[in-house]
Amino acid sequence: MLSAYTGNQVRAAESPLLEAGLGGELMQRAAHGLAQACVGELHATGGTYGRAVVVLVGSGNNGGDALYAGARLQQRGAGTTAVLTSDRVHTDALAAFRAAGGRVERLTGNLDRIAERVTAADLILDGILGTGGVGGLRGEAAELVTKVNVRGTSGRVVACDVPSGVNADTGAASGEVLAADLTVTFGGLKSGLLVGAGARLAGRVTTIDIGLGDTLAEPSLYSLEPSEFHLLYSQPQPADHKYSRGVLGIAAGSGMYPGAAVLATGAALATGVGMVRFLGPDAVTTLINTVHPEVVCSHGSVSESHVQAWLVGPGAAEDPGQRQRARDAITSGLPAVVDAGALPLLPETVGSHVILTPHAGELVALFERRGKSVEREAIEAAPLDSARRAAEATGATVLLKGNTTVVAAPDGTVFSQTNATPWLATAGSGDTLAGILGALVATNTKHDDAGASLGLPPSSRWAALAAAAAMLHGLAGQRAAKRGPIVVSELPRHVRLVIHELLRDPPRADQ
């Protein structure tokens, strides 16, 4: 499991080492790792010797890291130019760069010529702003990046710690940002590289251990990895039967939107569950049984149905009966996945066993119902903060859908999953995610320590399962997209195959 930290957390961890006089050593460790990563990028496209490297240098320690790394690249045969974007610069690092034979230019007065040099370089090392940068690039540095973005780059871009202009904590991007192919971050993975615009702009991310060790605080953010899926997936045991395996109740779909029920039900079946009990109107139950004859359908009530968990809301906003079933499921005391048309039916507060799955627009409406005015753009720019605030306001576990999926628990535990492909941005994709999550919840109700296998407290249980659902949904989407545009009704087949692959060779406990 990836653990990520805010910029303040990493700086706090560095503080005792800096006070002990180890600042220079920390910078050299960072620069060594950064240089090695740059060498790897150059070797992937033809080697280091004779290659053109441009180092964009800011005023802080981030610029110092980049200069020391540039000096190492110069010593390995690259032709390296440092572009100083500020009058202030790390003097020792600049001296080392010059001593290695690197060329130094100032940005002021040379904007167009330097933009041409940057766009033609084999590798661009972005060291303008680091974790302490606030408000994005300014002045000629912002103009330079704008020109480079318009013209495009022929080489690879490596960001030093974070892409300049990306908030290390939230992932929000201010102004123009030079998108990286690789971000090399130091001491601890930064939260902003896993969420929002930061996740899109960071490219691949690698973390360099500079020796912070136990001085780091508890992570601010987690991200599940595929190798951990087996820890959260409840596999059937020899003594299991359909009831002990887990029964998921679904109240979804309506005469206007029957397909949502079919998609959610199909995804739940593909994820693995002992039984699905479907409640809904005649037109929908007939369609469900035509497509999925194994589903037990009825027109009954929530109180009459024996299940372990509920999924309510997909396609159900137009049906009064489905709305009532949603209200009853949410207040039943059982775990409940609340999606789409059921979100407006939420009481003022619920428990963490109620898992909300809004997209940004639905979260705007949720906040408005609680007297808070929030713009959709603000939620999309800061999904981490938005999901946290929604969990605090409702008491629920909140899965905020988007290009990255953020899951926030009321206890403060937060996950971000970046597994999805843009091809999943299509109608019905959210219904499928809801079905996957419903199945994982229904089959895990007997295991109240789902987060323990990840070293997390019991209060993170539902958030961990929601993150697992988002990961599975994203991986299934990636698999389906290999054959072209995704047809959502075909996703369940890929869900089954991804589960098979993830469970086939789980790592041993000693690995």
Beta strand 414-417 with 405-408 is antiparallel
Which tokens belong to 451?
Answer: 């987060």
User: DSSP strand E in 66-107: where?
Assistant: 79-84, 103-106
Residues flagged as binding site for AMP: 401-405, 430
Binding residues for K(+): 62, 126, 164
Name the H helices within 90-211: 91-99, 111-120, 139-151, 196-201
Residue 199 identity? A
Q: Which residues of 288-305 are buried (b: 16+ CB within 10 A; e: fewer)?
A: beeebeebbbeeeebeeb
Give the C-alpha separation, 469 to 471, whole Å. Answer: 5
Single-letter amino acid, residue 41: E
Q: Are 474 and 420 in contact (CB under 8 A)?
A: yes
Cα dihedral sign, 84-88-89-91? positive
Cite the annotated binding site by residue number: 61-65, 126, 130-136, 161, 164, 260, 315, 359, 401-405, 430-431
* Alpha-carbon 158 to chain mean position: 20
371: Cβ contacts below 8 Å, ≥ 6 apart: none
192 contacts 414 by C-beta, under 8 angstroms: no
CA distance 315 to 341: 6
Per the CB < 8 A criterion, the answer to whether 329 and 336 are in contact is yes
Phi, psi of 77 (to 5 degrees): 105, 0
Burial 380-416 (b: 16+ CB within 10 A, else e): bbbbbbbbbbbbebbbbbbbbbbbbbbbbbbbebbbb
- Looking at residue 385, its amino acid is D
Residue with tokens 């059982």: 334
H and E: helices and strands count for the chain:
18, 19
Which residue from 253, 265, 437 is spatially nearest to 342, judged by alpha carbons?
A: 253
The helix (H) or strand (E) run that includes residue 391 is: helix 383-394
Can you list the positions of beta strands (E) in 304-396?
Answer: 309-312, 336-338, 354-356
SS (H, E, C) 203-255: CEEEEECCCCHHHCCCCCEEECCHHHHHHHCCCCCCCCCHHHHCEEEEECCCC
Residues placed in the known binding site for (6S)-NADPHX: 61-65, 130-136, 161, 260, 315, 359, 431
Question: 52-57 and 182-186: which strand pairing?
Answer: unpaired
Which stretch of DSSP H or E encloses residue 5?
strand 2-5
Q: Which one-letter amino acid corresponds to residue 387?
A: A
